[in-house]
Chain A
């Protein structure tokens, strides 16, 4: 077993980079859509053979056991090369929860299946009436013998139409005094009569997310993770690493690179107004990277990150949006054209980038919610 954490950062980065550059299929780089599992299965098998599917998990669970610093490097390299994250909700979200709160039996059963992608997971948190106010969720799970019976609806469930299982927050105590208190974390198979999935077409014309309806769907009681009615705090506990990851500069950096070659090809830099806006965006990305480095250093020193880290997400997602808006502008009369636009010998899909940037300020805690958090937890503002 390799002790990755014992390597220097530079050595480690080189190893990861070499592997991605040598092994990742060219045609899958910087995919503009979320792939179905079949599309990336071969790549997944390669990663799995190497033992690299779950960089953050402890080695005894089949992961790489990376510390925070190495983990950041792994993701930086992944994004730099445009390596698709694959169907990673299992690895990123359920796995860590099971590792932290699950029974040994749950770990032995579920973890290997997540790594091999025998089970493919989707995240069932949001509901029509529970978006930013997630604790308002109403989908119920009631005990019936050794099963839970599930009724209700989830929505915006990414790739539910290509998933075998769903992990969900459900209401198990409707009478709890606070709405956060009656919520549990439950695993359920999708392939059963009581579960119906309807795809939702996004603005970009893709079918990325779905509605999932539960009509007396069943899941064994042993699929409850952690204690009954303690799901809310468990789900919250896992957010901390996610928060720096979602604020990493890569998306904006990649988009800026695309914008630059596109604008150059199209002669947009002849326009001083465009030049200034490009310079603004480019400096926004550079200075964000400096701030990101400050938080990354904190992680490397073994410190935990405070709520302050949310500012990375606010800045970088809004910057990402401005960059893709500039792409549309640089496209001129092609600004509404679907598909790759040829400039010199590169293709840039301006619309796809533009669409990709839109929801980044909505998911992962909308930017307004992040501002609420910063204003209270960091600035100490009242009310």
Chain B
């Protein structure tokens, strides 16, 4: 895959940042959250026009043909303004699946052009509430069973569902309005919702079948995991900036609180955290663009997510402390960052989970 050069990435970052800032930055995200957690259709269109959704899609399939490093640049900008639109879901998961399995399908074009968005449903919940083996079936053009933890379920036009077909795994597409589909929306800390889907003979179109489905899913998850890490890096970056501004201006004991050494040292630690995360995650994305072995790519993605979650948790939580009581209010933006970090951290595995995966992958590579 292509790895974009530094100058391309810089330009891409600039245009993504301008686009989000012009649209209202984090203020826009707050308004959307208050208006019930949806997306902004104009924004989706603008993002599509800028090529954002098709950033990693090859040019012959209507994308920008850039690498994950470029996807990461965009994800960082999404994170900085905590934009709710499904950028990582689309770039990493839905287009990540389709460009690998059926690059000529009409939905590709509709996704890159922002005409539709599709959520991806592959995990299932066991009786105890934790993830369990998948049992959802696809037979005679109909889905039966359930799927859990579907991000972007609320605003999507349809669902890409990984199910068991007669001849092994299948990827099928169920329209959001299809018969026999019930969506239970669970409210998330950041105002978004996560879907629990249940299918009872829900009609769906088969997109791909066979072992390639599992392979493509694993690859798409690696991509999305690394991109979510980049989104957290952007989020941490901005949360730290907000905090730094605050401790420079808030005065107590007749001085800015940022003149107290204990505050200064905490701020430095957060700064170092942020820089390490940014360097680590960007390095991973570049390496993933040059790496073809799916296992190594998965290990790299875990490294990125482990780092990004560690940093984002620390930075957003310390940020609340450094703000004092206003940090605990809904009115101050810093809380939006904490809430978004909670959701992004839990999605696709948190830091402890990814350290485990990373360690096991490293052991396996060492043994091979």
Contact = CB atoms under 8 A, between A and B. Distances in A.
Q: Do A and B bind each other?
A: yes
Interface of A: 269, 275-276, 278-280, 282-284, 286-288, 290-291, 293-294, 308, 311, 314-315, 368, 371-372, 374-376, 378-383
Given A291-B275, A293-B283, A371 B358 contact: no
Interface residues of B, number: 34
Contact of B271 (A282, A293, A374): A374
Interface stretch (B24-32, B34-42, B254-262, B335-343): B254-262
Given A279-B356, A279-B359, A375-B264, A382 B276 contact: no
A382 B255 contact: yes
Contacts of B307: 283, 287
A128 B303 CA distance: 45
Contacts of A291: 275-276, 279-280
B277 interface: yes
Contacts, number: 97
B272 interface: yes
A28 B258 CA distance: 48
A20 to B, nearest CB: 26
A279 B303 CA distance: 10
B251 to A, nearest CB: 10
A311 B283 contact: no
B266 to A, nearest CB: 9
A293 B303 CA distance: 17
B358 A283 contact: yes
- Going nearest first, the 9 A-B pairs with the smallest beta carbon separation are A383-B259, A287-B280, A375-B264, A291-B279, A290-B283, A279-B355, A290-B279, A279-B359, A381-B258
Nearest to B270: A379
A378 B271 CA distance: 10
B105 interface: no
B248 A381 contact: yes
Nearest to B284: A290
B248 A290 contact: no
A311 B267 CA distance: 12
B265 A375 contact: yes
B267 A375 contact: yes
Query: A282, A368, A381, A382 — which one has the most chain B CB atoms within 10 A of its CB?
Result: A381
B11 interface: no
Contacts of A282: 359, 362
A375 B261 CA distance: 9
Question: Interface on chain A toward B: helix, strand, loop, or mixed SS?
Answer: helix
B168 to A, nearest CB: 34
A78 B263 CA distance: 38
A279 B282 CA distance: 20
Interface in B86-111: none
A290 B282 contact: yes
Contacts of A372: 261, 264-265
Contacts of B358: 279, 283
Nearest to B286: A290
Nearest to B260: A383
29 contacts: A276-B355, A276-B356, A278-B359, A279-B355, A282-B359, A283-B280, A283-B306, A286-B303, A287-B276, A287-B307, A288-B276, A290-B276, A290-B280, A290-B282, A291-B275, A291-B276, A293-B283, A311-B275, A314-B268, A315-B276, A372-B261, A375-B258, A375-B265, A375-B268, A379-B267, A381-B248, A381-B256, A381-B267, A382-B255
Interface in B221-268: 244, 247-248, 255-256, 258-261, 263-265, 267-268
Nearest to B352: A276
Contacts of B283: 287, 290, 293
A287 B271 contact: no
Given A290-B276, A375-B267, 6 more contacts: A275-B356, A291-B276, A368-B265, A371-B268, A381-B258, A381-B267
Contacts of A381: 244, 247-248, 256, 258-259, 263-264, 267
Contacts of A379: 244, 264, 267-268, 271
A36 to B, nearest CB: 37
